Amino acid sequence: MDAMDDEDLALAADYRDNGNPEAIDRLVSKYGRSLLGYLRAATRNAHDAEEVFQDTWLKAMRKIAFFKGGSFKAWLTTIARNCVIDRARRMRPTTSLDRELDEDGTRVVDLMADDAAPRPEAGMVATERAARIREAVAALPEAQREVFLLRVEQEMPFAEIAEMLGIPLNTALGRMHYAVTRLRKELEGI
């Protein structure tokens, strides 16, 4: 266990034992941004990501007694992943992301917020490139997309990804390899 894991365990214990809200604030400050990035990619919707983000932290606060050490980020991401799955089971898609909303051809997917998207001053080419990348990631098979997002958005080590998903390490590595190969092929020339 490294110093970061020790600090996270101490913060979790402080919240669990003393109800110290500053402990949770520090954990949110530490992991909130990467978690939200993961959720935006996983839900493919900024509004849903915000709701799942809140659900994740509420569940983490209620279940903090179950955190016994190790990687808080992996523990939190497992909760977030389960929240995403639960939400997907409850919600049925009501609109296609490719459906045009108006006569000028604007699609739902074009309106999705993305912190990683370039700023408007970066120009139309960069915006189109970012949209193509998001679409290519969204088009990955679910198992590959999940490993890809956990690795890229959450920066989780493959061993933690494998443990979290309950798959062998080689399977996680293989899924990442296939995802990257497919993305390279899809995005060739952009």
Q: What is the pLDDT of residue 102?
A: 55
Going by C-alpha positions, the residue among 170, 156, 150 that lies closest to residue 70 is 156
Write out the residue limits of the CATH 1.10.10.10 domain(s) in the chain: 122-190
Task: Report, as an integer, the average pLDDT of 83-92.
Answer: 85
**pLDDT tens per residue across span 34-43:** 999 999 989 8
Residue 190 has pLDDT above 80, yes or no: no
CATH of domain 122-190: 1.10.10.10
Pure H helices in the chain: 3-18, 21-43, 46-62, 72-90, 124-138, 142-152, 158-165, 169-186
Write out the residue limits of the CATH 1.10.1740.10 domain(s) in the chain: 1-91
Q: CATH says 1-91 is which class? A: mainly alpha
Q: Taking the CA of residue 102 as centre, how many other CA atoms within 13 Å lie in the half-sphere pointing to its CB? A: 4
Task: Report, as an integer, the average pLDDT of 163-176.
Answer: 93
